[in-house]
Structures are given as structure tokens and as C-alpha cells.
Structure 1
Amino acid sequence: MTQLIREMTLKNGLTVRFANASKPYFGDYHHVKVVISCEVPLSAHYFADENEFSDACRLLGKLPVYQRTVEKMGVPSTEVVAVLERLIAAFAANSFPYLASPVFPHRFVHAELAQARKKSSFHYGARH
């Protein structure tokens, strides 16, 4: 079970959510895990025409989600909160410049669309 522990709004308007998915590992040790997600709304202006936008909506839905996981194994109970904070801070320091860029939503949507099209054509070809 995950528990939302923080939300941060970036300068491009996207909101990054951090959820704690940590669990006991062995004895007094834990598997500290943070699931990071960011919904990236589709916008017609990311596409050359209405058909491409409709195709993206069909393949990705209206809110494609950027998601990453950061984790650390074998954390003593007394250090779980500190490790959670360090994982979040490290992710923010390394990834926020990229995620906060004004071009990130457009690039992310097109990368996800290319992947979805590839997956869709693979599954289609595998049936025949």
C-alpha cells in the first residue's frame, strides 16, 4: 500500500507526487521505496493535426503518467524517515530541472506515444 507523502508543483504547472511504498524487509530492516508520479495532460497543440491528437488520446488516455521509483534496501527503522527524505531530495535535485522544463510535457507525450504505437503494432502483428 502506498501513502502520498508530498506534492510539488513545478514551474511549468505539472505536479509531482511522492508516495511512500516502503515495507519491512527483515527484522528491524526496511525496503524504503518512493513511487514518483506526474500526470501530463494531453494537449491538441502538441500535435500536427486532430487525427494525431485523437490517436494519442486513444493510445495514452487523457492523462499519461510519468512514473519512477527510487528505493533503498536494508534500512534500519531509525533511519527510514531520513532515507525517504534523502531519496526525494536526490530525485528532485537530479530530475526537476528536466521535468520543470517547458518542453518536457510535449517531449514526454511524444515519447510515450511512440512507445504505445510500437507496442500496439507489435501486439497487432503477433495475433496474425
Structure 2
Amino acid sequence: MAKMIREISLENGLVVRFFDHTRHYYGDFHLVKIEIACEIPLSGDYFDEQSDLEEARIRFGESAFYRRSVERMGIPTTAISTVTEQLVDNFVSHSLPYFAVPGFPGRFLKTELVRGRKKQVLPSRVTAYHHD
């Protein structure tokens, strides 16, 4: 079971959480895996059209979720905490500033809505193979 190792509250109301999914896989080697999660509540303020808000509620419910995992393999037991901090700090330094921008929640929700629409209209990649 994952353990939350850090939580960062942003001025735009979002909360970014970091979960440790580190696991042992061989000898003294571990997979250090950190999940980054952020819940983005739906709000009419983020959508120009009421129909987009309604569609977003159908697709996501009351919130959409950002989830990403970062990992490193082959980490000895003595280096787990150092690598964990490096992975978290790297995200905080390079990606967190984007989350902190006041307009991020609206942009994220609109992007996810467009992405969901595209997935809905893409043709299936599964084809039948017939051998004569």
C-alpha cells in the first residue's frame, strides 16, 4: 500500500500529493516509484460554455485527476531515501510551477475534455485477420 510522503498546497487551491510505491525486486535492489497526484475540482469558472461543464461532469464526476509516476530502478537500500527526495524535488523544481499558476486548473480541465472527445471518435485499432 502506498504511503503519502508529501503534500503541497498551492495558492490556486490545488493540493499536490506524493505517494511512495517503492518496492524490493531483487537482492539489495529496489524500484523507487513515486506517484504524483492532484485533484482538480470542476467549476463553471473554468468553462466558457455550460454544455462543456456538463460534459466534463459526465466524463470526470465532480473532479478530474492528474496522476503521474516517476521511478528509478536498481536502487540499493541505503540510497532509497536520497533517490526518493531527488525524484520529488525534481518534480517540485520543474513541474510544480505550472500547477501553481492561477489558470492551470482551467487549462488542465479543458485539455482533458478535448482529449476525452478525441478518444471517443478515434477508430478502433483492432482489426480482424482472415487467413484464406
Give the TM-score, by structure 1 length: 0.91
Which residue number corresponds to residue 14 of structure 1? Answer: 14
Which residue number corresponds to residue 3 of structure 1? Answer: 3
Aligned residues: 124
Which residue number corresponds to residue 94 of structure 1? Answer: 94
What does 1:1-128 align with in structure 2 at a 5 Å threshold? Answer: 1-122=1-122
Please list every run of 5 or more consecutive structure 1 residues that lacks an aligned counterpart in the other structure.
none
**Deviation per residue, 1:36-66 (Å, 9 max, x gap):** 0000011111112222210111012211011
The 4+ residue runs of structure 1 with deviation greater than 6 A are: none
Q: How far, CA to CA, are the matches of 1:29 and 1:107 in structure 2?
A: 40
Amino acid corresponding to residue 93 of structure 2 in structure 1: A
Of 44-53 and 96-105, more deviation after overlay is shown by: 44-53
CA deviation after TM superposition for structure 1 residue 12, in Å: 1.3
CA deviation after TM superposition for structure 1 residue 13, in Å: 1.5
CA deviation after TM superposition for structure 1 residue 93, in Å: 0.3
8 A contact 1:60–1:112 mirrored in 2: no
Q: How far, CA to CA, are the matches of 1:48 and 1:107 in structure 2?
A: 12
8 A contact 1:60–1:116 mirrored in 2: no
Amino acid corresponding to residue 39 of structure 1 in structure 2: E
CA deviation after TM superposition for structure 1 residue 106, in Å: 0.7
CA deviation after TM superposition for structure 1 residue 78, in Å: 0.7
Q: How far, CA to CA, are the matches of 1:97 and 1:4 in structure 2?
A: 21
CA deviation after TM superposition for structure 1 residue 91, in Å: 0.6
Q: Percent of aligned pairs with the same residue? A: 43
Larger helix proportion of the pair: 1
Aligned to 1:40, the other structure's residue is in SS state strand
Aligned to 2:41, the other structure's residue is in SS state coil
CA deviation after TM superposition for structure 1 residue 117, in Å: 1.1
Which has more radius of gyration? 2
